Chains A and B, each alone.
Chain A
Amino acid sequence: MVRRVKRYKTRLSIASGIRRKVVIVLLLCTIFLVPGCLDNHELEDMAFIGIVGIDPAPGRNLRITYEIINAATEAGKAGQSRGRSKGMYETFVTPSFGAARTIANANSDRILTNVQTKAVIVNEELVKREDLAEMIEALVREREYRRDLLLVTSIEPAEKLIPMIDSKFTTPPDQVIENMRFQYRYTGMVPNTSLNDFLTTIELGDQLAITPIIGPRKELHEQSVIPRADEVVAGQTPIKGGDNKIEFTGAEVYNSGHAVGRLMGAEVRIYLLLTNQIRWFLENIQDPIVPAASDAVSVEQSFPPRISCHLDRGRLHFIIRVPLRCALIGSNAKIDYVQTARYTRVLERALDKEFENEAQELIKRCQTEFHGDIFGLGLSSLKWWFLTEQDWKAFQYTKKFCNAKIDVHFMFRMTAFGKQRSPYGT
């Protein structure tokens, strides 16, 4: 009996050893299968869509333009510097945005993919008629598109504009767009709106969405004059030469997915200042003491604006204080703004007044022209008063915003004066 039990136990331990080895082998096989190489595609078989353009087409159709990157030539050959030829462009008409890639795939031996798409450019004419959020619904549903791609409104047909994105620094078109999206930090004349920002703002419903405007650059002529460099939208600044034939300035305002108006570069700057998105920019103002002269200042936003709000006999009253630091970088007024504190204060107050006037004009446009809040003032200050969604909805913020009293106080502090102590001629 004891011998039989021993034999049984030995057999059991042998079986257990064999089973352990089988399990290890199977597990190793699984490890090789788990990475999913069954679904792989060679890079040479693929082509990447960098920019997508959407224009109107007859009927309910859309005219789609793709800027296509050839992945095989992207890296350049061995020993050569990295540089890429101009992208390839393709335009076609399709009834829906979602299935547009199929049409493009039909005339290419590569697999077209949107995983590297950096921007979607929509024609202004189209979005005045159609609901943009509804039209680009496929973008957020389709697995290849990313919610961080840049959404841009074009004042010219996207089909004509996309091939114009051609940097002389050999930056590929999709990267030009990607670099341009961060220019807002240094110019303040264009917002950085991703697809996610746009959809979130539209769906929240208490704020109007804005997108940057792109347009073809205007050529400089002998008679070319503009009042101020920032009082323009894309395509209105005359420039000769330069890097690109396109320009990023201004913003398009959307109410419920429809384009309802444009913001000029200076207005976008006010928007960015009130939403604490700007870092640094240069500004030129008329000299407060010598009207024929002008002063250039560099402005830095280090602190967010302080927004307070209360109900004044049923009417909303916002008080916004925007602290800013600035440095005098140029003046032809021959006034000693550096060593005379009284003059420094005069210049600071002139800047305050200039920006307050611009802000008031923009707020007036929002209340009367766009019928909504582009700054999200309600979200940042007022919504905290409400504990539930039902209470907030019942408050009808947008309606109240259009009748609200909004005081904006800019608080410029001159903290630096460049490298000169006193101006020329004093």
Chain B
Amino acid sequence: MLAISMVIMVGKILDPSADILIHWGHGAAYLLALLSGAMMLLCVLPMLWLFRQPDKSLFDHLFEQFGNVIGSIVGLLLLLALLIDICTTLRLDVHQIEVAFLPTTSPILIVMIYVAAMSLPVYFGIEGLGRSNLIMFVLLFITLISLLLFMLTRAHLSYMPPVLGPGLPNLLQQGVLHLGFFAEMLLFFIFRPYLRTYREFRWSFLTGYIASVLWIALALFVFNLVIPYPTSDHLMYPFLESAKIVYFGRFIQHIEAVYAVAWVASSLIRLNIFIFAASLLCAELLRTANYRRFIAVVGAISFYGSLIPPSIMSDLSFKDIVSMQRSFLLYVSIPLALGLVAYIRKWRQKRNGKTGQALQNQA
């Protein structure tokens, strides 16, 4: 679970999604990542205690606490947000593949192959995905660590200040608006039944999430030392570009090829998890145990959905404005409301229980 969480979160920084944090955080993009990550965690913490029950996922709690109608609506909203995220991420990844490897291949063909490669492994279930994730986790982190170390050779500490970038009030405002950048953490709550104990779940969730946010912040920090703001804001593929400028003379060149291959593999495994989660959500929403029958449907929706944006910029803008800035209330309110409603119900049950016992005692 730790590997899954880190691949899902850290993998995000390697595609053009990183542009969003760089654009709003300027030279302090790493600080924006830390603030958004911390705020998202604060929003989610109040509902963490609910997941002591081993066999209940986020959807079960939504139905239980909000009732079938509101629970279904909230679940549908989450599913919609996840599908939008899959479609926009898929398109961004395909764009990066076009730039890195396949400039003349039709993007529709790349999307088709990509959808097949990200949907088919889901048939093997969480165990297969988990094991392949573990391998990818190792590969991704070796690549990322080596890339950051190589990038340090081109780093200038003088590019770091001003340390607060556009200013703390601005960063706090953008931190709230962009906490959706870390909304993928809600997937852990869907995977809760796959973990045996609450302790295991809580440890892997908190460790994975905090480590991922720190990694993202570190990567953005090092990136800013290599390509400072405003140049960084002009780049469409920041980490691909920074891998390209790593240069050790004639004998070590084009290391971005190694990096890009590792990135493709990690991107596919990341999307596998997304498809798995979306299929699982569909199954839970329709109250059926077999999620596999939804894989093809989710794959098809991802395929067509990713072809909707006319350009990468519209895709990125949509992800930034709709998936994050306009949806931040959704990510804030659902966990808070769930935690609060569950707590009130528990408190009332406890009070009713006490009153009942007192009445019994009186009788």
Residues of A in contact with B (beta carbons under 8 Å apart):
19-20, 23, 26-27, 29-31, 33-34, 36, 38-39, 140, 143, 146-148, 175, 178-179, 182, 194, 196, 199-200, 203-204, 376, 379-380, 383-384, 386-392
User: Bound complex: CA of A37 vs CA of B229, how far in Å?
Assistant: 37
Are A30 and B162 interface neighbours, CB within 8 A? no
Tell whether B108 is near chain A: CB-to-CB under 8 Å: no
Tell whether B167 is near chain A: CB-to-CB under 8 Å: yes
Task: Jot down 7 A-B pairs with beta carbons below 8 A, ordered by A.
Answer: A20-B123, A27-B117, A38-B102, A200-B228, A204-B159, A390-B166, A392-B162
Tell whether B120 is near chain A: CB-to-CB under 8 Å: yes
Q: Using an 8 Å CB-CB cutoff, how does the interface string of B95-123 with A read, 1 for contact, 0 for none?
A: 00101011111000110010011001101
Known: A147-B244, A200-B228, A203-B231. A23 touches B120 (CB 8 A): yes
CB nearest neighbor in A for B121: A27
Are B241 and A147 interface neighbours, CB within 8 A? yes
With a CB–CB cut-off of 8 A, which chain B residues contact A379? 156, 158-159, 161
Tell whether B199 is near chain A: CB-to-CB under 8 Å: no
Known: A39-B105, A147-B244, A200-B227. A386 touches B120 (CB 8 A): no
Q: Output the least CB separation between A74 and chain B (Å).
A: 14
CB nearest neighbor in A for B110: A36
Are A388 and B164 interface neighbours, CB within 8 A? yes
Known: A36-B105, A38-B102, A203-B234. A383 touches B227 (CB 8 A): no
Known: A143-B99, A148-B247, A383-B158. A388 touches B231 (CB 8 A): no
With a CB–CB cut-off of 8 A, which chain B residues contact A27? 117, 120-121
Q: Using an 8 Å CB-CB cutoff, how does the interface string of B207-239 with A read, 1 for contact, 0 for none?
A: 000000000000000000001111100100000
Q: Output the least CB separation between A127 and chain B (Å).
A: 20
Are B244 and A148 interface neighbours, CB within 8 A? yes
With a CB–CB cut-off of 8 A, which chain B residues contact A26? 116, 120
Are A36 and B165 interface neighbours, CB within 8 A? no
Q: Which of A200, A387, A388 has the most CB of B within 10 A?
A: A388
Q: Output the least CB separation between A199 and chain B (Å).
A: 6
With a CB–CB cut-off of 8 A, which chain A residues contact B163? 387
With a CB–CB cut-off of 8 A, which chain B residues contact A178? 250
User: Bound complex: CA of A146 vs CA of B104, how far in Å?
Assistant: 19
CB nearest neighbor in A for B247: A148
- How many contacting A-B pairs (Cβ < 8 A)? 101
CB under 8 Å from chain A, chain B span 241-298: 241, 244-247, 249-250, 264, 268
| 10 A-B pairs with least C-beta separation | A379-B158, A39-B102, A383-B161, A388-B167, A380-B158, A30-B117, A39-B105, A387-B164, A23-B123, A148-B245
Q: Output the least CB separation between B160 and chain A (Å).
A: 8
Are A388 and B165 interface neighbours, CB within 8 A? yes
Q: Output the least CB separation between A232 and chain B (Å).
A: 27
Known: A148-B247, A196-B245. A389 touches B26 (CB 8 A): yes
In-complex Cβ contact of A389 among B104, B162, B231, B247 (8 A):
B162
User: Bound complex: CA of A84 vs CA of B177, how far in Å?
Assistant: 58
Q: Output the least CB separation between A404 and chain B (Å).
A: 17
Q: Output the least CB separation between A403 and chain B (Å).
A: 22
Q: Output the least CB separation between A238 and chain B (Å).
A: 30
Tell whether B27 is near chain A: CB-to-CB under 8 Å: yes
Q: Output the least CB separation between B247 and chain A (Å).
A: 5
Known: A143-B99, A199-B231, A204-B228. A38 touches B109 (CB 8 A): yes
User: Bound complex: CA of A27 vs CA of B117, how far in Å?
Assistant: 7
With a CB–CB cut-off of 8 A, which chain A residues contact B26? 389
Are B103 and A386 interface neighbours, CB within 8 A? no
CB under 8 Å from chain A, chain B span 52-73: none
In-complex Cβ contact of A36 among B101, B166, B245 (8 A):
B101
Given contacts A23-B123, A33-B113, A39-B103, 20 further A-B contacts (CB under 8 A): A19-B123, A23-B124, A26-B120, A27-B120, A31-B117, A33-B116, A34-B117, A34-B268, A36-B97, A39-B101, A146-B245, A147-B245, A182-B249, A204-B228, A204-B230, A376-B158, A380-B157, A388-B165, A389-B26, A389-B167
With a CB–CB cut-off of 8 A, which chain A residues contact B113? 30, 33-34
User: Bound complex: CA of A25 vs CA of B99, how far in Å?
Assistant: 29
Are B245 and A384 interface neighbours, CB within 8 A? no
User: Bound complex: CA of A390 vs CA of B200, how far in Å?
Assistant: 46
CB nearest neighbor in A for B113: A33
User: Bound complex: CA of A390 vs CA of B26, how far in Å?
Assistant: 12
With a CB–CB cut-off of 8 A, which chain B residues contact A38? 102, 105, 109
With a CB–CB cut-off of 8 A, which chain A residues contact B264? 34
CB nearest neighbor in A for B97: A36
User: Bound complex: CA of A383 vs CA of B161, how far in Å?
Assistant: 6
Q: Output the least CB separation between A13 and chain B (Å).
A: 14
Q: Using an 8 Å CB-CB cutoff, how does the interface string of B317-328 with A read, 1 for contact, 0 for none?
A: 000000000000
In-complex Cβ contact of A388 among B116, B158, B162 (8 A):
B162
With a CB–CB cut-off of 8 A, which chain A residues contact B105? 36, 38-39
Q: Which of B123, B229, B249 has the most CB of A within 10 A?
A: B123
User: Bound complex: CA of A37 vs CA of B231, how far in Å?
Assistant: 34
Are B244 and A146 interface neighbours, CB within 8 A? yes
User: Bound complex: CA of A182 vs CA of B249, how far in Å?
Assistant: 8
CB nearest neighbor in A for B171: A388
User: Bound complex: CA of A82 vs CA of B193, how far in Å?
Assistant: 62
Are A390 and B167 interface neighbours, CB within 8 A? yes
With a CB–CB cut-off of 8 A, which chain B residues contact A388? 162, 164-167
User: Bound complex: CA of A143 vs CA of B159, how far in Å?
Assistant: 26
CB nearest neighbor in A for B118: A30
With a CB–CB cut-off of 8 A, which chain A residues contact B120? 23, 26-27, 30
Q: Output the least CB separation between B205 and chain A (Å).
A: 30
User: Bound complex: CA of A380 vs CA of B246, how far in Å?
Assistant: 22
Are A203 and B162 interface neighbours, CB within 8 A? no
CB under 8 Å from chain A, chain B span 145-165: 156-159, 161-165
With a CB–CB cut-off of 8 A, which chain B residues contact A203? 230-231, 234
Are B162 and A391 interface neighbours, CB within 8 A? yes
With a CB–CB cut-off of 8 A, which chain A residues contact B159? 204, 379
Q: Output the least CB separation between B150 and chain A (Å).
A: 12
With a CB–CB cut-off of 8 A, which chain B residues contact A147? 241, 244-245
Q: Output the least CB separation between B186 and chain A (Å).
A: 28
Known: A143-B99, A147-B241. A383 touches B162 (CB 8 A): yes
